C-alpha cells in the first residue's frame, strides 16, 4: 500500500542519523540514582545483540538519487474529526501530509495476506539471483501462533485468567493508593494509603494490607466491557485459568535453534567456572530425609535478636504546607470580563449547601440526598470557559465553587464522547499520524503498517518540524512503549519471521530493521533506509521484484513489509557469547523469619507453589514449560535445597557465611518441575514445619539476591527471582540497612533522600543482575518501615515488579496476594532484553523512563520485561523535520522467550510533522501527556525538592496552554480560558498528579508508600496512569442487573454522591464500595446480607455471595474490574460518615484534598491566572 512508501521520500540521502553511535545523553539510566554506574554493560560480549550488524557494510552507495518516489503530499487524514467542537475555531491548515489511507490495495481482510498461499500473482517474481528457495521466508516464517491463518488468530491469545476485557492493555499496577490527607487536626484515618500506613497498625484488618493489584487490561476502564469479557464473572479469575500466558510460537519451527545440550542440564559440568568451583557449603546440612529436615540448621542458634528497632517514623505529619498551589486563591484574580456570573447558571453557579450532610471539611459543598442537580446538558464550549470574578466575593468566606462544575471540561464526558464516536470502528493503522481512540475506549486494532496503540502511544501524532516550534509549545514529544503488551483475543499476535542463518535484513548504516517504510529501488535490488537514507543491497535470498508502483510483489506476504509490528527469529549473533540461550529459570526465595512464619505466610506460599508450578509460562504447543525451578529459604542465613528427581527426599544445605555468597550445590538446585515433582512437593510440605518454631527475627536481603544471581550464573541462564520478604534487613551482611525513615524531611530540601537508596550497594548488585539476565520480583509483607526505596533498587533496575502487603493478614489479604502471585508467575515475560528506539533523521530519543538499566545512552537493558511494563521515551529535535517525510520510530526489542528462544520484536510508527502549531495541538493525546509528565515529575523528586518539581509541572502546562491561546485560538476576551480540544482535560488531570502522594503526601502516607508508588507509576502504561490519577467512580445502584454493561461513570466529586446510593471507586490498586447512610434497607440486605446500615462490617475484604440479582451484578462488576487490571485490587468497604470515609475521599480528586491539594475548579482558576501572566 502506498501509504507506507510515500512517506519516506524524504531527503533522499539526508544526513546520517546522528544518534546511532551514541550521542551524548545526560547520564541517567532509567533511574538517576546516585551511584548508578554508567559504565558499559559488559555482559554482551558478542555482537551487541540486535544492534550490531555482523555483516560488514556492503553496497552502501552514497546516494545519488535513486528516484525517491515523489510522494504526493498527502492530504492526510485530517484528524480534525477528533475535535469537533473546537477545531472549527482554529485556523486549520491542512495537516501535514499523511497519505490517504490505503485504498484498494490495502489489506482488506486484515492479515489474510500472510497465508502461505500468498496472493495470486504475487509469486511472479523469483529473484534473479535466486536465493535458494529452500527456505521461503514468506511462508514458514510467521507462525504467529500456531495458526497459519493470521486473521483469525484469536485462539493464540492466551492469557492467564480471563482475557483482557477490552481493548486496553493490561497494565501493571500496583497496589497502593493514596490517600488524601487530612487537615492537620484531623485524626489520621485508619489506614490510608497503600495499605495502612505502616506507622498505624491496621485498625480493623479491613484494609490493613497495602496495595492491591489486579490485573486486567485497563480497558474496560469505563465502558461496558467488550463482549468477550462482558459476561464477566465466569472469566473472572479462576486461579489458573488455562494456560499460562504464552506467545505460542512453535519453537520447532526454528531451524537450527536448539539450545546447546550442555546448557540445558544442570550437571556440574555446565557450571561455569565463573561461579567458582562449588565450595563446600559451610554447613552441609545432612540430607533431609523426611523429618530430619526439621529444624533449622543448628548453625542458626535460634538467635533471638532484639526485635527490629521500632520505626522511627514520626507521627502524623502535619498537613504539609503546600507549595505552589493551595487552592489557587481565586480572590486575587482581577475582575474577568468574560465571566458570566452565577446568576444565569451557565457557569459559576454557586451551589447552596445541601441540607442533610455536613461537608467533611470546609469549602466542600455538602452533598445531600440528591446527586447534585443533574448536570444541565449544556456543555461548555471549551473555548469559552469563563474565569470567575473573584473580586466580587469576599475572599475567605466564599463558597469554594464559584464556577459551576458542570461548566468545566468533564473527564466523564470526554471519555463517553470518544467511546461513542470511536468505539464502534476498528482502528486501522495504515495512516500516518493517526490519533488512536482514548485508552478508555474499547476498540479493535487492525495493523496495516503502524504499531498498534497497545504497543505505542504518543503525546502527539503530529510533531513540530523545528525544535523552535517544539520549544515554543512546550509540548513534550514522547512515546509510551509497551513492547510485549497483551492483545485481546480478537487481535493478531505479531508474526514471527525467520530469515534463517542470515538473520533479519537491516540497514547497513543505522542497523534499522526491515520495515514497511523502507523503499526498494533499482528494481528491487537495493533499498533506501527510511531512517538514515543509506542505501543497502538487498541480500540475494531476500530479493523480490517490484510492481508498477514500486512495491515488492511479496509485500503482503511479509509481515516486515506490511505490518507495524512483527518479530524476527534472532540468530546466534544476537546471543550472549555467540551461544543460544538456555531456557530461563525461576527461583523462589522465601523469608522464613519469625514474622513470616507466624503470619502463616510461609505455609501459604508453599501450599500455593505446589499447584502454581504447573502453570509456568510455556510456549505455544509445548506440553510443559521449559523453565526450571529452584528453592531457597532464608532469615539470617540461607538454605538451599537439592530437589533432584533421583532423591527420595529433598536435601538442605545451609550457607551461613553471607558475606561472600555462593551456591553450595550445582546439580539438583534448578530442576524440571515434572521430573522432580515428588521431591518438590515433599520440600514444600516440609518447609513450614521446619521453621514453625523459629525465633529468628532478623533477615538479610542482598545475599539472597546474590545467591539467586550466582545460581543463574552457574546454570548459564537468565531467570527471575521471586523473593518473599518481610522486614528491614538489619542482620550483619552486605546490603545491611538501617532505619532512616524521617517524615520530618518532608517539604525540606532533604526530602529527596527519602526516595533515594541509602547505599549504592544495591545499584551495583542490580548492574550484575542485569548482566546475567537475573530479574527480581519482590513481594513485601512489612509491618513497619523496610525501606522500599532501597530494597526496590534491584527490582526496579532489572525490570521486575514490586508488590507490597503491609500488615499482611492471612484472612483478608491472601486472595489478593495469591492472585498477584499467580499472575506474576504466569505472565508473559522476556529475559535478557535490550531495547533500542531508532528514529528518522531530525529527531532522536533522548530520555527514557521506566524500570530498566542503561549502561550507555541508547540501549535500555532489562533483565526481564513482562507484558505489563512500559518504557516512556522522550524525543528531541536534532534537525529540521519535513512535512512530506514525517517522522518514524522503530522500537526493536531483543529478548529471550520463556522457552529460551532469542527473538527481536519490532514496532514501527510513522508520525506527521507540522509547521503550524495548530496541527500539533489538534493531534495531541492528553492521557499520554499525563503519563509522561507524571513519570518526569516522579523522577524529578530524586534530585529536586518536591515543591520545585510541582512548580515546574504547573509552569510547563501553563506554557503549553498559553502557547495555544496565543498562536492557535481565535481572538477572544482575555478573561476567557481557552483550552485546546485535545487538551481540555490537561488541567484536571495535571491537578491529580500534583495532588498525588508522591508530590503532596498527606500525614498518613508513609515513606515506603511514596517510594512504592513512585516506582509503580514509572512502569505504568497510559491506561493505568489514567485511572490511577483519575479513578473510576460507578454508581452501583444505577446498574442494570439485566445487562452486562457497567453503569455510567460519574465525576470524582463528593457533590456527585447521593446518600441513598452505593458507589464503587477503583484506581487500579484499590476498589472502594461506598455506602450512603440512606441506602434502602433492601439493597443493604441484598448486597451485604445484613439488615441495616449499622451492621455492615467494613472489615469485609470481599462481598458476601448472595443469591439475588443485585448481589450478583455488583460482584460481577467487581470481578470484571479485577480482571482488567494487572494487579489484584484490594476491596475496601466504606460507610458514609465512617472513619474510613476520609480515605475514600482522598480519591474524589475533583475536590479539594485534605492534604492541601486544590479542587479542580480552583486549580483551573489558578492555571488561568498563570496563563494570563504568561500572555501579558
In the shown chain, the binding pattern of residues 731 to 760 toward Zn ion, with x for contact by CB under 5 A and - for none, equals: ------------------------------
Name which of 383, 415, 431, 409 is nearest 79 in CA terms: 431
Binding residue (CB under 5 A) for Zn ion from 177, 507, 918, 1039:
507
Q: What end-to-end distance do the CA atoms of the chain give, in Å? A: 49
Q: How far is the CB of 65 from Zn ion (least distance, A)?
A: 16
d(CA 793, CA 32): 11
Q: Which is nearer to Zn ion, 333 or 506 (CB)?
A: 506
- Establish if 529 lies at the interface with Zn ion (CB under 5 A): yes
Report, in Å, the least distance between residue 861 CB and Zn ion.
23
The nearer residue to Zn ion, 293 or 512, going by C-beta atoms, is 512
Establish if 534 lies at the interface with Zn ion (CB under 5 A). Answer: yes
Question: 5 or 270: whose CB is closer to Zn ion?
Answer: 5
Residue 910 CB, shortest distance to Zn ion, in Å, is 15
CA distance 657 to 299: 11
Q: In the stretch 779-818, what mask flags binding to Zn ion with x, by CB under 5 A?
A: ----------------------------------------
Minimal distance in Å, beta carbon 469 to Zn ion?
26
Nearer to Zn ion, 529 or 1064 (CB): 529
Nearer Cβ to Zn ion (415/510): 510
**Looking at 138-146, 464-472, 506-514, 673-681, which segment touches Zn ion (CB under 5 A)?**
506-514
CB of 512 to Zn ion, least distance (A): 5
Of positions 220, 512, 606, 629, contacts Zn ion by CB under 5 A: 512
Closer residue to Zn ion (CB): 532 or 632: 532
Q: What is the nearest approach in angstroms of Zn ion to the Cβ of residue 645? A: 51
| Cβ-proximal residues to 56 (8 Å cutoff; 6+ apart), any chain | none
Nearer to Zn ion, 510 or 1123 (CB): 510
Cell representation of residue 1039: 446498574
For residue 1164, the minimal CB distance to Zn ion (Å) is 46
Q: Which of these ranges, 512-520, 867-875, 961-969, 1029-1037, lies near Zn ion under the rule CB under 5 A?
A: 512-520
Residue among 563, 489, 527 nearest 147 (CA): 489
Q: What is the CA radius of gyration of the chain?
A: 29
Q: How far is CA 289 from CA 679, 682, 802, in A?
A: 11, 10, 35
Task: Specify the stretch interacting with Zn ion by CB under 5 A; choose among 68-76, 262-270, 504-512, 778-786.
Answer: 504-512
Does residue 1050 belong to the site contacting Zn ion (CB under 5 A)? no
Q: Among residue numbers 1114 through 1143, which ones bind Zn ion (CB under 5 A)?
A: none
CB of 697 or CB of 858, closer to Zn ion = 858
Choices 297-305, 358-366, 508-516, 642-650 (CB under 5 A): range interacting with Zn ion? 508-516
CB atoms within 10 A of CB 549: 12
Phi, psi of 281 (to 5 degrees): -60, 145
State the minimum distance, in angstroms, from the CB of residue 674 to Zn ion: 47
Binding mask 548-567 for Zn ion (x = CB under 5 A): --------------------
Task: Give the C-alpha separation, 795 to 777, whole Å.
Answer: 6
Least Å from the CB of residue 309 to Zn ion: 58
DSSP state of 1044: S
Stretch that binds Zn ion, among 521-529, 745-753, 800-808, 1156-1164 (CB under 5 A): 521-529
Beta strands in 570-692 (DSSP E): 585-591, 628-634, 638-642, 651-655
Q: Quick one: which segment of 216-224, 384-392, 502-510, 1115-1123 binds Zn ion (CB under 5 A)?
A: 502-510
Per CB under 5 A, 532 contacts Zn ion: yes
- Residue 510 binds to Zn ion (criterion: CB under 5 A): yes
The nearest distance, CB 534 to Zn ion, in angstroms, is: 5
Determine the Cα–Cα distance for residues 553 and 524; give it in Å rounded to an integer: 10
Burial class, 55, CB count within 10 angstroms (exposed 0-12 / middle 13-18 / buried 19+)? middle
Distance CA 825, CA 612 (A): 8
φ, ψ (nearest 5 deg) of residue 360: -70, -30
| Sheet-wide strand order for 1070-1075 | 1032-1035, 1062-1066, 1070-1075, 1130-1135
- In the complex, minimum distance from the CB of residue 532 to Zn ion, in angstroms, rounded to a whole number: 3
Task: Give the integer Cα–Cα distance in Å for 889 and 907.
Answer: 8
CA separation for the pair 27, 32 (Å, rounded)? 8
Measured from the CB of residue 21, what is the shortest distance to Zn ion in angstroms? 13
Distances (CA, A) of 878 to 843, 849, 1054, 1073: 5, 20, 48, 51
446: nearest Cα among 470, 473, 418, 426 = 426
- Binding-site size for Zn ion (CB under 5 A) equals 8
Report CA torsion sign: 605, 606, 609, 610.
negative
Closest to Zn ion by CB, 518 vs 684, is: 518
Whether the CB-CB separation of 543 and 129 falls below 8 Å is answered with yes
CB of 906 to Zn ion, least distance (A): 14
Q: Which stretch binds Zn ion (CB under 5 A): 271-279, 499-507, 601-609, 986-994?
A: 499-507
Residue-level length of the chain: 1176
Minimum distance of Zn ion from residue 526's CB (angstroms): 12
Q: Does residue number 837 form part of the binding site for Zn ion (CB under 5 A)?
A: no
In the numeric block, the cell 512508501 is attached to 5
Listed ranges 259-267, 434-442, 533-541, 896-904: which one lies at the site for Zn ion (CB under 5 A): 533-541
For residue 580, which of 1166, 17, 46 has the smallest C-alpha distance? 46
Biggest distance spanned by C-alpha atoms of the chain: 87
Stretch touching Zn ion by CB under 5 A, among 50-58, 507-515, 612-620, 841-849 = 507-515
Q: Other CB atoms closer than 10 Å to residue 441's CB: what's the count?
A: 26
The DSSP element (H or E) to which 561 belongs, if any, is helix 559-562
Among 28, 531, 1030, 1074, binds Zn ion (CB under 5 A): 531
**DSSP assignment string, 236-258:** S--TT-SSPPB----GGGSTT--
User: Of the listed pieces 435-443, 532-540, 659-667, 696-704, which binds Zn ion according to CB under 5 A?
Assistant: 532-540
Q: Which residues bind Zn ion (CB under 5 A)?
A: 507, 509-510, 512, 529, 531-532, 534
Amino acid at each position: 500500500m502506498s501509504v507506507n512508501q510515500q512517506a519516506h521520500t524524504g531527503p533522499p540521502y539526508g544526513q546520517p542519523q546522528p544518534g546511532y553511535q551514541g550521542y551524548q545523553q545526560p547520564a541517567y539510566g532509567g533511574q538517576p540514582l546516585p551511584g548508578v554506574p554508567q559504565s558499559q554493560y559488559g555482559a554482551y560480549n558478542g555482537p551487541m545483540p540486535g544492534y550490531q550488524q555482523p555483516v560488514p557494510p556492503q553496497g552502501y552507495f552514497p546516494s545519488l538519487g535513486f528516484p525517491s518516489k515523489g510522494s504526493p503530499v498527502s492530504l492526510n487524514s485530517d484528524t480534525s474529526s477528533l475535535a469537533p467542537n473546537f477545531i472549527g475555531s482554529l485556523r486549520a491548515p491542512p495537516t501535514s501530509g499523511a497519505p490517504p489511507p490505503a485504498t484498494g490495495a490495502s489489506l482488506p481482510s486484515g492479515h489474510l495476506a500472510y497465508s502461505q498461499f500468498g496472493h495470486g500473482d504475487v509469486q511472479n517474481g523469483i529473484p534473479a539471483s535466486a536465493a535458494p528457495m529452500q527456505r521461503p521466508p514468506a511462508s514458514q516464517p510467521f507462525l504467529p501462533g500456531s495458526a497459519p491463518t493470521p486473521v483469525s488468530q484469536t485462539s493464540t491469545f492466551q492469557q492467564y485468567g480471563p482475557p483482557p476485557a477490552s481493548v486496553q492493555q493490561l497494565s501493571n499496577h500496583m497496589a497502593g493508593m493514596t490517600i488524601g490527607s487530612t487537615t492537620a487536626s484531623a485524626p489520621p484515618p485508619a489506614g490510608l494509603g497503600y495499605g495502612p500506613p505502616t506507622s498505624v497498625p491496621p485498625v480493623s484488618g479491613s484494609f490493613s494490607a497495602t496495595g492491591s493489584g489486579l490485573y486486567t487490561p485497563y480497558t474496560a476502564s469505563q465502558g461496558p466491557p467488550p463482549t468477550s469479557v462482558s459476561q464477566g464473572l465466569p472469566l473472572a479469575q479462576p486461579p489458573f485459568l488455562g494456560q499460562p500466558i504464552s506467545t505460542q510460537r512453535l519453537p520447532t519451527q526454528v531451524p537450527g535453534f536448539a539450545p546447546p545440550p550442555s546448557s540445558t542440564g544442570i550437571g556440574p559440568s555446565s557450571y561455569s567456572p565463573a561461579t567458582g568451583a562449588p565450595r563446600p557449603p559451610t554447613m552441609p546440612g545432612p540430607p533431609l530425609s523426611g523429618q530430619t529436615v526439621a529444624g533449622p540448621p543448628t548453625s542458626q542458634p535460634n538467635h533471638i535478636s532484639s526485635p527490629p528497632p521500632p520505626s522511627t517514623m514520626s507521627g502524623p505529619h502535619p498537613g504539609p504546607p503546600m507549595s505552589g498551589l493551595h487552592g489557587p486563591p481565586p480572590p486575587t484574580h482581577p475582575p474577568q470580563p468574560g465571566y458570566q456570573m452565577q446568576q444565569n447558571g451557565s457557569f459559576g453557579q454557586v451551589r447552596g449547601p445541601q441540607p442533610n450532610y455536613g461537608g467533611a471539611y470546609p469549602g466542600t459543598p455538602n452533598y445531600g440526598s440528591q446527586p447534585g442537580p443533574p448536570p444541565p446538558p449544556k456543555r461548555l464550549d471549551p473555548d469559552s470557559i469563563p474565569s470567575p470574578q473573584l473580586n466580587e466575593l469576599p475572599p475567605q468566606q466564599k463558597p469554594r465553587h464559584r464556577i459551576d462544575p458542570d461548566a468545566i471540561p468533564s473527564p466523564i464526558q470526554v471519555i463517553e464522547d470518544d467511546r461513542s464516536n470511536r468505539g464502534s470502528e476498528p482502528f486501522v493503522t495504515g495512516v500516518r499520524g493517526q490519533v488512536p481512540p482514548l485508552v478508555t475506549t474499547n476498540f479493535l486494532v487492525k495493523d496495516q503498517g503502524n504499531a498498534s496503540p497497545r504497543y505505542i502511544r504518543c503525546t502527539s501524532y503530529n510533531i513540530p518540524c523545528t525544535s523552535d516550534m517544539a520549544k515554543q509549545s512546550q509540548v513534550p514529544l514522547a512515546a509510551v512503549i509497551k513492547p510485549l503488551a497483551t492483545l485481546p483475543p480478537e487481535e493478531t499476535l505479531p508474526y514471527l519471521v525467520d530469515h534463517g542463518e542470515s538473520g533479519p535484513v537491516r540497514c547497513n548504516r543505522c542497523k534499522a530493521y526491515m520495515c514497511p517504510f523502507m523503499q526498494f529501488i533499482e528494481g528491487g535490488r537495493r533499498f533506501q533506509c527510511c531512517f538514515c537514507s543509506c542505501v543497502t543491497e538487498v541480500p540475494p535470498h531476500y530479493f523480490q521484484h517490484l510492481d508498477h508502483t514500486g512495491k515488492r510483489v511479496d509485500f503482503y506476504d511479509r509481515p516486515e513489509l506490511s505490518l507495524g509490528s512483527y518479530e524476527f527469529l534472532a540468530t546466534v549473533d544476537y546471543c550472549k557469547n555467540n551461544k543460544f540461550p538456555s531456557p530461563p529459570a525461576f527461583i523462589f526465595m522465601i523469608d522464613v523469619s519469625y514474622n513470616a512464619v507466624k503470619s502463616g505466610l510461609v505455609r501459604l506460599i508453599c501450599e500455593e507453589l505446589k499447584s502454581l508450578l504447573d502453570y509456568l509460562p510455556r510456549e505455544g504447543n509445548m506440553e510443559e514449560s521449559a523453565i526450571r525451578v529452584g528453592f531457597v529459604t532464608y532469615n539470617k542465613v540461607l538454605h538451599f535445597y537439592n530437589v533432584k528427581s533421583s532423591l527420595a527426599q529433598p536435601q538442605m544445605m545451609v550457607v551461613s557465611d553471607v558475606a561472600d555468597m555462593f551456591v553450595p550445590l550445582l546439580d539438583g538446585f534448578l530442576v524440571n518441575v515434572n521430573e522432580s515433582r515428588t521431591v518438590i512437593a515433599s520440600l514444600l510440605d516440609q518447609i513450614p514445619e521446619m521453621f514453625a518454631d523459629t525465633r529468628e527475627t532478623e533477615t538479610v536481603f542482598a545475599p539472597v539476591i546474590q545467591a539467586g544471581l550466582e545460581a543463574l550464573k552457574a546454570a548459564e541462564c537468565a531467570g527471575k527471582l521471586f523473593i518473599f520478604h518481610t522486614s528491614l534487613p538489619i542482620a550483619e551482611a552486605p546490603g545491611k540497612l538501617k532505619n532512616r525513615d524521617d517524615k520530618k524531611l518532608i517539604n525540606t530540601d532533604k526530602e529527596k533522600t527519602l526516595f533515594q537508596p541509602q547505599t549504592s550497594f544495591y545499584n551495583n548488585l542490580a548492574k550484575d543482575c542485569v548482566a546475567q539476565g537475573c530479574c527480581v520480583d519482590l513481594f513485601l509483607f512489612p509491618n513497619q518501615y523496610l525501606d522500599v526505596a532501597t530494597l526496590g533498587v534491584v527490582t526496579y533496575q532489572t525490570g521486575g515488579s514490586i508488590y507490597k502487603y503491609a500488615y499482611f493478614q492471612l484472612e483478608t489479604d491472601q486472595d489478593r496476594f495469591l492472585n498477584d502471585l499467580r499472575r506474576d508467575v504466569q505472565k508473559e515475560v522476556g529475559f535478557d532484553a535490550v531495547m533500542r528506539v531508532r528514529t528518522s533523521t531530525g529527531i532522536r530519543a533522548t530520555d527514557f523512563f521506566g524500570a530498566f538499566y542503561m549502561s550507555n545512552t541508547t540501549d535500555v537493558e532489562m533483565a526481564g520485561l513482562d507484558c505489563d511494563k512500559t518504557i516512556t521515551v522522550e524525543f528531541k529535535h536534532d534537525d529540521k523535520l519535513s512535512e512530506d517525510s514525517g517522522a518514524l520510530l522503530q522500537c526493536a526489542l531483543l529478548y529471550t522467550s520463556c522457552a529460551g528462544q532469542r527473538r527481536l520484536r519490532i514496532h514501527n510508527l510513522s508520525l506527521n510533522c507540522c509547521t503550524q502549531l495548530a496541527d500539533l495541538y489538534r493531534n495531541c493525546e492528553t492521557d499520554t501527556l499525563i503519563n509522561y509528565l507524571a513519570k518526569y515529575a516522579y523522577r524529578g523528586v530524586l534530585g529536586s525538592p518536591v515543591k520545585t518539581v510541582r512548580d515546574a509541572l504547573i509552569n510547563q502546562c501553563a506554557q503549553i496552554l498559553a502557547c495555544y491561546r496565543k498562536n492557535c485560538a481565535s481572538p477572544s476576551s482575555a478573561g476567557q480560558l481557552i483550552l485546546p480540544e485535545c487538551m481540555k482535560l490537561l488541567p484536571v488531570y495535571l491537578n491529580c498528579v500534583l495532588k498525588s502522594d508522591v508530590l503532596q503526601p498527606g500525614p498518613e502516607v508513609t515513606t515506603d508508600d511514596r517510594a512504592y508508588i513512585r516506582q509503580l507509576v514509572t512502569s505504568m502504561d497510559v491506561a493505568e496512569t489514567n485511572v490511577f490519577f483519575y479513578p473510576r467512580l460507578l454508581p452501583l445502584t444505577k446498574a442494570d442487573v439485566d445487562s452486562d454493561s457497567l453503569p455510567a461513570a460519574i465525576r470524582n466529586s463528593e457533590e456527585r454522591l447521593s446518600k441513598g446510593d452505593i458507589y464503587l471507586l477503583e484506581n487500579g490498586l484499590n476498589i472502594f464500595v461506598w455506602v450512603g447512610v440512606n441506602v434502602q434497607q433492601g439493597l443493604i440486605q441484598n448486597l451485604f446480607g445484613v439488615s441495616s446500615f449499622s451492621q455492615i462490617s467494613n472489615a469485609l475484604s470481599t462481598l458476601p455471595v448472595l443469591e439475588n440479582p443485585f448481589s450478583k451484578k455488583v460482584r460481577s462488576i467487581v470481578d470484571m474490574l479485577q480482571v482488567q487490571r494487572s494487579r489484584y485490587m484490594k476491596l475496601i468497604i466504606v460507610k458514609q460518615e465512617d472513619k474510613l470515609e476520609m480515605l475514600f475521599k482522598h480519591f474524589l480528586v475533583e475536590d479539594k484534598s485534605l492534604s492541601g491539594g486544590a479542587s479542580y475548579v480552583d486549580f483551573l482558576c489558578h492555571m488561568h491566572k498563570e496563563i494570563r501572566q504568561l500572555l501579558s
